[in-house]
Structure 1
Amino acid sequence: MRKNGFTTLATLAGALLIGTAALSGGVNASDDPLKTRKEGFEANKKAMGAIKKIFEDGADLGGIAAPAQAMADFAKRVPALFPPGSDKGETKAKPAIWTNNADFTAKAGAFEAETAKLVQLVGSGDKSAVQKQFGAVGGTCKACHDSYRSE
């Protein structure tokens, strides 16, 4: 069953407020990097889902601005969320993050660059370009997960 436009937008707005708060601040990584990165990646996943839903529903591209910006803000923090010693506890992070940190940091940098491009493109109104860039962002997620995340 398809929700009406107002209900869909209200649902997305609520999810984005929660996700944006988790992506943009919250717990300081030095306090508990494992908790911070789990919350951040979960919020990032929700932001990706919100953007996907906007595309599926044919909604205004303007709705992508907030989740795209939240992802870009989070992307800047990713390498710092994996300090030495944060490989303990319930984590899906592979040890290779710490043994091959230069490559991990490069992959995180690609995520940061592609989310920044997404933020820039949202204002263009070019749905095709925004969708293509959203795919590029997803590609950076996959590249990092393939190497550094246990499923």
Structure 2
Amino acid sequence: MLTRIAFAATAAFLLTSAAIVAPAVAQDPIKARQAGFEDLKKAMGEIKDALGKDKATAAAPVATRVAAFASTIPSLFPAGSDKGKTGAKEVIWANFPDFTAKAKDLETAATALAAASATGDKAATGKAFAALADTCKACHQRYRAD
């Protein structure tokens, strides 16, 4: 029963996320992606806090939120959105297939974290969280201006 409720909540979140992201990107993709990455930063903190409190299962819905956001990342970087106040390097648009692959890696790692944390296994959740953090670093090193 709990699994069905979690699935329904996740589905509702994903549908709502898509409905919110699309209009925001059309208006200002830079602001939309900055807001999304701020939420990602917050989510990473929430996951870290859950692990610190031995509440691995609390990370599952947060990781699902990260996966949902990750699936939208390429759409947040349309051509021409490299101008303005942004920390995005121009190389994103020059190497968009690799950038898209890194976003997919983030989605995959977040999905794996959600699965690991749903089991309540703190060690597996910690390992999956470290893998998720590594995907963030891999993208930042190449595509984010400091």
Q: TM-score, normalised by structure 1?
A: 0.80
Gaps of 5+ in 2: 1-12
| 1:76 counterpart = 2:71 | yes
Higher relative contact order (CA 8 A, sep 6+): 2
Q: In the TM superposition, what is the alpha-carbon distance from 1:67 to its structure 2 partner?
A: 1.2
1 CA distance for matches of 2:51 and 2:114? 15
What is the CA–CA distance in structure 1 between the aligned matches of 2:60 and 2:132, rounded to whole Å?
14
Question: Counterpart in 2 of 1:36?
Answer: 32
The alignment status of 1:97 with 2:89, answered yes or no, reads: no
Paired amino acid for 1:85: G
Q: Which runs of 4+ in 1 moved over 4 A?
A: none
> What TM-score results when the alignment is normalised by the length of structure 2?
0.83
Q: Deviations over 1:98-128 (max 9, x none)?
A: 0111111111111111111111112112111
Structure with bigger helix share is: 2
Partner of 1:122: 117
RMSD of aligned Cα (Å): 1.8
> What percentage of residue pairs aligned between the two structures are identical?
46
Please name the residue that 2:17 is paired with. Answer: 24
Unaligned 5+ residue runs, structure 1?
A: 1-19
Q: 1:3 is matched with which residue?
A: none
